[in-house]
Structure 1
Amino acid sequence: MRKRLKTLLIKTKRQVFSEMIGNNPSLFHGEGYDFSELREYQVGDDIRKIDWTITAKLQKPYVKLFHEERELSIVCACVMGGSLYFGTHRIKQEVVAEVAAIVGYSSAKNGDLFTGATVNRKEVWVERPTKRLFGVNRFVEKVDGMPVIGVSSDYKEGLRQLFRRIKRRSILFVVGDFLAPVDLGLLSKRHEVIAVIVRDRFEEHPRPLGQVHLVDPETGETLQTHFGERSVAKYRAQIIASDKALFSHLHKHRIRFVKVYTDEDPFGRLVKLFGGRV
């Protein structure tokens, strides 16, 4: 195992097993079937848990809380492609691997079943479910070391194939840069989907570079061009439009999401997503 990957796994394991807050904390909240309590709606609560009958009577939104299931099915699906081989701080592929480690270790700590999966245009690969740290380490090592140059990511057909492979209702983390068109609607009908968007800040806020030689890491196509102020403005408009469509799609299907940049700590971002409870 490479020294950098060992360091990443040690750091992530320490964060998950040493820095968690409270008794039996977890990233994951089960659906459960045993009613626990009724309380007033708080910012960040899942609107699907609102009790509309009580809300109408009391004229305030109330949510039903349930005891968590004792064993959840956690799936981390990493959408792999050449676009991940980019980064000004560190490459996005390393961040994707770290997110997979956080999800895997959190699952193991809580005694839940963890399934790792990789998705691209050529294949969907799914690990056997595990509760062992060894299984998590093996999956993270695969994600971190997977050759992605010349590989196209697939957020449509690849994820439809994943839907057919993952039968049990799960909490499904889809991790990738989401630069290609996305369709998570089918997955969200069976699973609780959470999108983790991994980006480099330069991708969203590039600066003029002048004359450049560009290479598409997915197709290998090259382009000689002048990347000046006008090109930057055109590119920025495309990114903004693409992200607007992405966020609209996620909101439509009630999918929670978080964006993690290559110069950030993914653990902190995931803690914030889950309201400070990991």
Structure 2
Amino acid sequence: MVGNNPSIFQGEGYDFIELREYMPGDDIRHIDWNITAKMQSPYIKIFREERELNVVLVTILNGSVHFGSKKFKQESIAEIAALLGFSTLKNGDLLSYYSFTDKMDNFYKPSKKIHQIQSITKDILDFEALNKKVDFKFIADTLYKRLKRKSLILFVGDFFEIPDFKLLAKKHEVVSLIVRDKLEEKPPQMGFASLVDPESGATLEGDFNRSSVDSYAKKVHAHDHKLYDTFRKHQIRFTKVYTDDNPSVNLRRLFEGR
């Protein structure tokens, strides 16, 4: 909650206030043609600004969120969802919720009821994420078709795949919250070990020495650099939250534009 709106766009209200003469740059759709004809000069209608936002919270709960050194990313996602939910309702805005993997797993219609946040948080914590995969094209296509009203869409996930939210970002305001654990970005040297992929269930065995660990860390860094460039290109605001962070600090910095 920053100022009166946590968003960079504001709704266009429907409460008529007054008429005034047209000025360069005014929206011509607001010209009152009857008054214009009578006065022989263009006049436009002024409306009261609508402050209510349609906030859409979207969690991406594929198998890789079932990981964490101090706490699971899935728990951090639930905490972030609760913070965003309470902030939305405190600001008097409508909150709807979607949960995705490679399909739509859950949906809560727009509401201002506080008990909905408890239900959302519980659903995230109870969700069986193991062996679930993500399909970002399905997510983008589904939201583009379902969301008719201009919305503030808040995505929460670990984004180990790069989404194409270009069309969504043209129609709505999109914000991405990247939830990670530091151990998965810079793993320790483990020697010979077996690792299980939480998405596919496949087992990877090998010597996780300094060379292989450094190579992996460089690939993650390169992936994230491409991810950030994609978000910036599509004018999507984003921030990264680690599982040992205080997410409220990261969220405040993001929405205050620091």
* Fold in common (TM above 0.5): yes
- Counterpart residue number, 1:78: 59
- Counterpart residue number, 1:225: 206
1:180 CA drift (Å): 1.5
RMSD over equivalenced CA pairs, Å: 2.1
> Percent identity, aligned pairs only?
38
- 1:90-169 equivalent positions in 2, closer than 5 A: 90-169=71-150
- Counterpart residue number, 1:251: 232
- In structure 2, list runs of 5 or more residues that go unmatched: 14-24, 26-47
1:276 CA drift (Å): 7.9
1:173 CA drift (Å): 0.4
- Counterpart residue number, 1:38: none
Q: Does 1:215 align with 2:196?
A: yes
Q: CA separation in 2, counterparts of 1:129 and 1:249?
A: 29
Q: CA separation in 1, counterparts of 2:60 and 2:167?
A: 16
Per-residue CA deviations over 1:36-62 (Å, capped at 9, x if unaligned) read: xxxxxxxxxxxxxxx9xxxxxxxxxxx
1:252 CA drift (Å): 0.4
1:92 CA drift (Å): 0.3
1:96 CA drift (Å): 0.7
Per-residue CA deviations over 1:151-208 (Å, capped at 9, x if unaligned) read: 1122232222222222211000011000013111121011100010000111111221
Tell me if structure 2 keeps the 8 A contact 1:85–1:148.
Answer: yes
Q: CA separation in 1, counterparts of 2:10 and 2:122?
A: 31
Secondary structure, aligned partner of 2:109: coil
Tell me if structure 2 keeps the 8 A contact 1:30–1:69.
Answer: no
Shift in CA distance, 124/186, structure 1 to aligned 2, threshold 3 Å:
farther
Secondary structure, aligned partner of 2:156: strand
- Counterpart residue number, 1:206: 187
Tell me if structure 2 keeps the 8 A contact 1:154–1:180.
Answer: no
Secondary structure, aligned partner of 2:103: coil
- Given candidates 44, 50, 61, the residue that maps to 1:69 is 50
Q: CA separation in 2, counterparts of 1:125 and 1:164?
A: 16
Secondary structure, aligned partner of 1:160: helix
Q: CA separation in 2, counterparts of 1:126 and 1:85?
A: 21
Q: TM-score, normalised on structure 1?
A: 0.75
- Given candidates 198, 211, 236, the residue that maps to 2:217 is 236
- In structure 1, list runs of 5 or more residues that go unmatched: 1-19, 35-50, 52-66
Q: CA separation in 2, counterparts of 1:156 and 1:88?
A: 30
Number of residue pairs aligned between Structure 1 and Structure 2: 225
Tell me if structure 2 keeps the 8 A contact 1:30–1:68.
Answer: no
- Counterpart residue number, 2:249: 268
Tell me if structure 2 keeps the 8 A contact 1:76–1:117.
Answer: yes
1:137 CA drift (Å): 1.3
Question: Which amino acid in the other structure matches residue 27 of structure 1?
Answer: P
Shift in CA distance, 161/141, structure 1 to aligned 2, threshold 3 Å:
same
Tell me if structure 1 keeps the 8 A contact 2:11–2:52.
Answer: no
Q: Which runs of 4+ in 1 moved over 4 A?
A: none
Question: Which amino acid in the other structure matches residue 92 of structure 1?
Answer: K
More strand, by proportion:
2
Tell me if structure 2 keeps the 8 A contact 1:79–1:154.
Answer: no
1:131 CA drift (Å): 0.2
Shift in CA distance, 226/103, structure 1 to aligned 2, threshold 3 Å:
same
Q: TM-score, normalised on structure 2?
A: 0.81
